[in-house]
A and B are shown apart, each in its own frame.
Chain A
Amino acid sequence: MCSHCRARDARRACVAAFCATIALAACQREQRDLDPHVEPLAGQATPLSGLNPGEDRPAPIRSSNGAGFEKNAYAISEGQRLFAWFNCSGCHGNGGGGIGPALMDDVWRYGGSIEQIHASIAQGRPNGMPTFRDKIPDAEIWQLAAYVRALSGNVPKAAAPSRGETISVTPPLTRVPEQPPKPADSVSPER
């Protein structure tokens, strides 16, 4: 085989390998699902009390495609838009809290996984969190939950937006350190 044919084949092989390795990672992050439909969550996402005599606590429910929202850049970006549109800042500040608890830290009274955040938004919570189940379509609640996860650095950095086109209210979300939610039983009851 001529030398430049071999070169061309070698080039093609490298490109193919390159594609394959980043294909899976890229697909999820970059997809633009303009009209997302989510299967409804089954069961209770919020874990009950950690005190179960002699048994493990109930496992948190995982939604099949809801979790994908927190890896998808478009969904997080839409969540950022909706966070402003629906005035979540009115109680939560821009993640720092106010009337409502902070969303940028690792303390989650009702659970900090995306399914649990989704449940909190949809169902409402005591002490002032309204229920948005009938007021925000389910896919948008998932997008909001994905953005809330981004506030505490719990989304892939490549999927997070750096900043909005507003005054600077959070550190750039691409630089926020990852703060996985503390287990529920480590949250002090006074908080």
Chain B
Amino acid sequence: MSSDHYAPTIQPAELADVEARLARTWADPPGFLGWLMTVDHKRIGRRYIVTAMVFFVLGGLLALAMRTQLARPESGLMGPDRYNQLFSMHGSTMMFLFAVPVMEAVAVYIVPLMAGTRNISFPRLNAFSYWIYLCGGVTIFVAFLLDIGPEAGWFAYVPLSSSAYSPGKRTDFWAQLITFTEVAALAVAVELVATILKQRAPGMTLGRMPLFLWAMLVTSFMVIFAMPAVMLASSFLISDRLVGTQFFNVAEGGDALLWQHLFWFFGHPEVYIIFIPALGMISTIVATFSRRPVFAYPYMVLALIATGFLAFGLWVHHMFATGLPHLGNSFYTAASITIALPSAVQIFAWIATIWSGRPRFATPLLFVIGFLAIFVLGGLTGVMVASVPLDLQLHDTYFVVAHFHYVLIGGAVFPLFGAFYYWFPKITGRLLDETLGKWNFWLFFVGFNVTFFPMHYLGLIGMPRRVYTYPPGLGWDLWNLVATIGAYLIAISALLFVFNVIRSLRSGARAGDDPWQAPDLEWATSSPPPPHNFTYLPIVQSAEPLWHSDEIPVVRGATGDKREVLLTSAVEAAPGIRWQMPEPSLWPLVSALALTVLFIWSVFSPWGVVWGAIPVAIALTFWFWPSKSEQSE
């Protein structure tokens, strides 16, 4: 914590002494071993973000290949088998390996800092989450390179994904990818709920909690309720394919639509799991760069919670064309249209904040404006496809491809890039270049619209989804070519971002603690923060602690000789007990590797679950073996 913010009663000598003790207590072992053993949320968060962005680039390359194939009718660049694998990998990578993990990753880094605590809850689980995520991603990409990549789409409808129509192990690896990534997501969700509810700085009542923390709280609860549905679905599918159960076999009493219900019960909340953290990021950036708190805070919180609840009641809108009863379908139309309301409230509030503030149009705010334009358009096409009769024309066409890219890229990726430009100084201590940032933004914005806007039209004039090619003469040729050109523009924009990052890491302007004059607690410590986050834990007296006063009251009395965090009550954040945090450990990595062996083995044999469980049990036993130190009162 910089001495600027301290109450003048703390002597520099005491400050230095506490800093030194804390640095020693919270240090990781040195070298490569320390890198493997760390339970520091910042080191894990950084590698989580980098890994997710690597998958983003890989997913983008897959999309470039797809667009290149579709640039001309019957282009002949690749056959259907390769194309089907490409689009299945693109969707699976973006949804399972990029979109959810990157939001979780940013939260893993930022949430403890913004909440004013020293580490995320369950730090070893946090490490485990990263390793199992990495193993899952590596597994599916190795499978893809070996021609065992998924080929039935990212949604793998049965019976196409059953063993009769998807021979070999391709779909099995896809189903296990789900298991890998959902375990990782559930782990982070649990940690975030515990951190946000029990580790906030004293005085940070729920009513003073930053909107990003609210967003991550809602998201984490959604993850906990949604992921089990898809794990169930993928387990049923693996079971059908491996040992011949009949879950999805109509002839034996199963139901092909059961898959769709289970998958979409997860699948719809999934897109909100991706979207809601972005809403938190937008609120953060809008507040900082408008130099005023977000307008209508209570409405914003209610909107987040309402969106989280409503998201679970919409899934049948993915199944309007399957022949379900009409009255039921109409209910889901109403629900799907209703969820536009909380989003509309938030849009108003953000624009009102900018309108009534003193905005600085730095790159993060540009990405927010891009989000507003793109997401609102995508949300409105969402209202269109929410209508059953209209959806019967638009479903499974390029109109839907346009819709979800507008809401996902506009609604999640643009805020994410804004958040990168915003928090990069905090994470690395250097600012990203503003000029490159503006080029990055404009290339992305223009490239995105050139790619995806024509797809609305392509869908309306008859182009279905998931086609590896199309015949000439249907009027689709020109706009497919235009879309491909836009895709290459997006690629250039991404390259520019990578270049900006690399250059700024080397020679970017040094950021101080608080280059943006932001209100939240993470800006009260150095950039990058020390391993212990804050020398003294802050006490919060308002919703914008750093704007409220120049001197922040702090918690005194801890020696800094133990790895401890302060637990506070869930609603009022009244100080509770000091809680011992675990030391760095290798067991999360070992457990993740053992679990990976189990998952991959069980693709080939059901005995993999039995025999593979033994090393997992051993690793978990060592992990959870109680240590001798007692908890403080």
Contact = CB atoms under 8 A, between A and B. Distances in A.
Any A–B CB pair closer than 8 Å: yes
A93 interface: no
A54 to B, nearest CB: 47
Nearest to B605: A157
Contact of A6 (B32, B34, B164): B32
B243 interface: yes
B163 A161 contact: yes
A158 B167 contact: no
Nearest to A176: B244
B288 interface: no
A162 B147 contact: no
B244 A159 contact: no
A74 interface: yes
A92 B146 CA distance: 37
A174 interface: yes
A116 to B, nearest CB: 24
Contacts of A74: 167-168
A163 B138 contact: no
Contacts of A157: 604-605
Interface residues of A, number: 38
Contact of B604 (A18, A19, A30, A158): A158
B472 interface: no
A152 interface: no
Interface stretch (B10-18, B245-253, B317-325, B419-427): B245-253
Interface string B122-152: 0000000000000000100010011110000
A162 B243 contact: yes
B167 A73 contact: yes
A159 B167 CA distance: 7
Nearest to B82: A32
B448 to A, nearest CB: 31
Contacts of B167: 73-74, 76-77, 159, 161
A75 to B, nearest CB: 8
A80 B164 contact: yes
A159 B240 contact: no
Interface stretch (A104-112, A164-172, A177-185): A164-172
Nearest to B256: A165
A22 B146 contact: yes
Given A7-B35, A26-B147, A26-B148, A159 B168 contact: yes
B576 to A, nearest CB: 37
A30 B32 contact: no
B328 interface: no
Is the interface on chain B under 10, 10 to 19, 20 to 34, or 35 or more residues?
20 to 34
A135 interface: no
A164 B240 CA distance: 10
Contacts of B163: 77, 161-163
A19 B145 contact: yes
Contacts of A158: 168-169, 604
Nearest to A81: B164
A29 B172 CA distance: 14
A161 B164 contact: yes
A3 B32 contact: yes
B423 to A, nearest CB: 21
Contacts of B243: 162, 172, 174-175
A164 B164 contact: yes
B291 interface: no
Contacts of B242: 162, 174
B626 interface: no
A23 interface: yes
Given A15-B138, A157-B605, A162-B240, A29 B169 contact: yes
Nearest to B139: A18
A27 B147 CA distance: 7
B238 to A, nearest CB: 10
A3 B31 contact: yes
B575 interface: no
B249 A165 contact: yes
B240 A26 contact: no
Contacts of B244: 162-163, 168, 171-175
A167 B252 contact: yes
Nearest to B250: A165
Interface string A72-91: 01101100110000000000
A73 B170 CA distance: 10
Contact of A168 (B34, B169, B252): B252
A62 B289 CA distance: 75
Interface in B164-203: 164-165, 167-170
B146 A165 contact: no
Given A7-B36, A73-B168, A77-B167, A166 B251 contact: yes
Nearest to A3: B32
A2 to B, nearest CB: 9
B240 A30 contact: no
Given A163-B244, A172-B244, A174-B242, A30 B250 contact: no
A161 to B, nearest CB: 4
A32 B81 CA distance: 8
Nearest to A34: B81
Q: Which 9 A-B pairs have CB atoms at the shortest separation, nearest pair first?
A: A172-B244, A73-B168, A77-B167, A73-B167, A162-B244, A161-B163, A163-B244, A3-B32, A26-B146
Interface of B: 31-32, 34-36, 79, 81, 138, 142, 145-148, 159, 162-165, 167-170, 240-244, 246, 249-252, 604-605
15 contacts: A4-B35, A6-B32, A18-B142, A26-B146, A26-B148, A77-B164, A157-B604, A158-B169, A162-B241, A163-B240, A165-B159, A165-B250, A168-B244, A168-B249, A168-B252
Interface of A: 3-4, 6-7, 15, 18-19, 22-23, 26-27, 29-32, 34, 73-74, 76-77, 80-81, 157-159, 161-168, 171-175
Given A26-B147, A163-B164, A167-B252, 11 more contacts: A3-B34, A4-B32, A19-B146, A23-B146, A30-B169, A31-B147, A32-B81, A73-B168, A77-B163, A158-B604, A166-B251
